[in-house]
Amino acid sequence: MTLDDILINMRTRRNQLAADALLRQIDHILVLCDDKLVELGAGLTVTVAGDNSLSSDSLAAAAKQLLSQAEAHREEIRTIALLLPSSAFISTQVNFPGMAPGAIQAALKLQSHNVLPVFQDPLVFAVNTQTPDIAIWASQPFVDDLFTAFSEQGLLLATITPRAVALAMAEHNRSRSESEWLLIESDEQTSSMLTLKGGVVKTFRQTQTSDLADAEFADEWQKLLEDHNRADSTERNTAEQIITSLRGIESRRLIDLSAPYSIIPGAALQRTYRFSIGKWRSKLAVAAVTILLLGALPFVIQSLQLYRLESAYDSLAEQAAPAREDQRYIRNFETEWGALTEFPKQNLDQVMIALQQVIAPGYLTAIDVESGYISIEGDSQDPQNLLERLEQNELFTEVDFARATNNTRYYIDLRLATVNFPAYQEWYFPESDQR
């Protein structure tokens, strides 16, 4: 395991601990259906003001009004899980066989700009790292605006989850079916289709209900449903049916089942992490004071100990002088040997991931990498299309056929856009270039 792997695992573990602590704090689940915001615990409902029910300020104001009705005398901050219509999210398939959970999240972050290139805003995502079949994406500015608006109302927004996914988890909790089944969920504004197996979301598609008024679009949606049709299927076609189903499961159970597909605002995660650190610091401070009081010694003994420590420090500092000199020598040595430290890094792991995404479902039979230049050989149903997709990938340049293709057989040469061996050679070894 490399140092990078260790650091990734540490960050993943830290974030997971903070996320688990945040999920345990959730005390209210709010669901948006059409223009109504519903608190699942008490079943209370308020209408979201304005024409856009997904407006951050309108949602936060409605949530404040709703929770004031539920707990009029409560003063501490309430922690919220928010279930939104599928129109607030986009789902993509994930294909990282054999990859570690921490590496899956890191790989998706690297690909966030390429997965949905039509989106100009940065994206955040949720993925079930144990069974990564789909990733659920949302606009980061939208998530941040929601968190800020809820904070201004004195509410802590902990998670944002597709309502259809939470509904699927509630239905699965009742049926306990291990076979693959289909859920169709819709209200006046949004229609969704999910397939699940063993409590894992396999596919997730959504559309605006108003778009189904178009006959051609409705036919395509119906064909999609038929393609994913299963012997077991469930339909929830009204807001009343959706809320009834969601209220049929214990809130804590619903939160836990939906957690792998819930987006946690970064600010909420940082707030929880800082709070946890503060609690540990307070505990450590109390422990330190207790130890000092219990271990206090007479002033004279403390003075003698301090004198001995100072003497030991002076002795160690004198002994460390040659080591510091050696350190300065090593730093100078590293400066003079920049040709080694600046040697171009080809990052072959990222290259292989990028090639896998472009080439699939075809495959490679041979690959040769030398000084930033790559030669690949393999089979593809459309070599010309493969060449064009490689040209469009910002990681590659100078993409061309090395020789004529034979039906599905291709031979392609390309260069890594991030690696420039000729420039490195010219900078550090100009004499060899002249020869």
What value does the mean pLDDT take over residues 12-35? 81
pLDDT at 30: 95
- Mean pLDDT for 170-199 is 86
Residues 6 or more apart whose CB falls under 8 angstroms from that of 360 comprise 95
Q: Choose between 31 and 412: higher pLDDT.
A: 31
Predicted local distance difference test score (pLDDT) of residue 150: 94
Residue pLDDT, tens place only, 380-400: 888 888 888 888 888 888 888
Residue 163 pLDDT > 90: yes
Top pLDDT among 100 and 185 is at 185
Lowest-confidence pick of 184-198, 360-374, 419-433: 419-433
Q: What is the mean pLDDT of residues 356-381?
A: 84
| Residue 415, Cβ density class (10 Å: 0-12 exposed, 13-18 middle, ≥19 buried) | middle
DSSP string, 173-234: HHH---S-EEEEEE-SSEEEEEEEETTEEEEEEEEEGGGGGSHHHHHHHHHHHHHT--SSEE
Residues 40-73: pLDDT tens digits? 988 899 999 888 888 999 999 999 999 888 776 5
User: How far apart (Å, rounded) are the C-alpha atoms in residues 39 and 41?
Assistant: 6
Whether residue 32 is predicted with pLDDT greater than 90 in this model: the reply is yes
Average pLDDT over residues 359-386: 84
401-432: pLDDT as tens digits: 888 777 788 888 888 888 877 777 777 777 65
pLDDT value at position 427?
A: 72
Residue 314's CB: how many other CB atoms inside 10 A?
Answer: 10
Q: How confident is the model at residue 304 (pLDDT cuts 50, 70, 90)?
A: confident
Burial (CB < 10 A; 0-12, 13-18, 19+), residue 92, is middle
Is the whole model's pTM more than 0.75, yes or no? no
Please report, rounded to a whole number, the percentage of residues in the chain having pLDDT higher than 90.
23
What pLDDT does residue 180 have?
A: 84
Nearest of 155, 185, 189 to residue 81 by alpha carbon: 155
Instruction: Let me know: does 233 contact 179? Beta carbons within 8 Å.
Output: no
- 435: confidence class by pLDDT, cuts 50, 70, 90: very low
Find the distance separating the first CA and the last CA of the chain, reported in whole Å.
42
Taking residues 300-317, report their average pLDDT: 80
pLDDT at 11 over 70: no
Comparing CA positions, the residue from 155, 40, 14, 26 lying closest to residue 81 is 26
Query: For 227-270, how does the pLDDT look when each residue is reduced to its tens digit (9 = 90+)?
Result: 877 667 888 988 899 999 999 899 999 999 999 999 999 888 88
Mean model confidence pLDDT for the chain = 81
Q: Is the pLDDT of residue 84 over 70?
A: yes
Range 83-107 average pLDDT = 83
Let me know: does 166 contact 82? Beta carbons within 8 Å.
Answer: no
Q: Is the pLDDT of residue 347 over 60?
A: yes
Q: Please give the pLDDT value at position 285.
A: 58
The answer to whether residue 174 scores a pLDDT higher than 90 is: no
